[in-house]
């Protein structure tokens, strides 16, 4: 699995045209073969972090070269981004845990009680 970490800050010019392009590009990405997931976060100082998971380097390369995605990148550099930093990483290990709803309801979260 490949993970993209995309940190950015928008310019004041990033208005409705940016939001429309952002929605379009994310919808297009979600339909792309090899797309796994995306999550976005915004810090108090306005910096944004978007994390995108791709199945493999081949599917990421197809997405990187998608003509509409390329056009959005060019518009972003020309108008919408004050800066961005992107890191591409390969996942070398995964670990998962999920508590079931029933377990969460019955879990005692306090310290042990003496009888």
* Tens-place pLDDT, residues 11-57: 999 999 999 999 999 999 999 999 999 999 999 999 999 999 999 99
Global confidence as pTM = 0.82
| Nearest CA among 53, 39, 44 for reference residue 1 | 53
Average pLDDT on 59-64 reads: 97
User: Is the confidence at residue 101, as pLDDT, over 90?
Assistant: no
| Cα distances (Å, whole numbers) of residue 29 to 81, 82, 83, 98 | 20, 23, 22, 27
pLDDT at 102: 78
User: How many CB atoms are closer than 10 A to CB 80?
Assistant: 21
Q: What does the pLDDT read at residue 112?
A: 57
Using CA atoms, how far residue 100 sits from 79, 108, 111, in Å, is 46, 14, 21
Q: How does residue 110 score in pLDDT terms, banded at 50, 70 and 90?
A: low
pLDDT band at 104; cut points 50, 70, 90 = confident
> Residue 115: is its pLDDT beyond 60?
no
CA distance 91 to 72: 27
**Dihedral of the alpha carbons of 44, 36, 69, 66, in degrees to the nearest 10:** 160
CA angle 68, 35, 5 (to 5 degrees): 85
Beta-sheet pairing, 35-42 with 48-54: antiparallel
Lowest mean pLDDT among 40-49, 67-76, 95-104: 95-104
CA distance linking residue 7 with residue 21, whole number of Å:
18
């Amino acid at each position: 699995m490949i993970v993209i970490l995309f940190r950015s800050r928008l310019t004041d010019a990033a208005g409705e045209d940016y939001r429309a392009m952002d929605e379009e590009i994310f919808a297009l990405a979600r339909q792309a073969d090899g797309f796994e997931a995306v999550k976005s976060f915004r810090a108090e100082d306005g910096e944004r972090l978007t994390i995108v998971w791709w199945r493999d380097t081949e599917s990421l390369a197809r997405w990187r070269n998608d003509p509409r995605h390329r056009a959005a990148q060019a518009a972003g550099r020309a108008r919408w981004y004050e800066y961005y930093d992107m890191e591409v990483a390969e996942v070398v290990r995964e670990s998962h845990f999920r508590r079931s709803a029933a377990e969460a309801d019955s879990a005692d979260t306090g310290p042990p009680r003496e009888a």
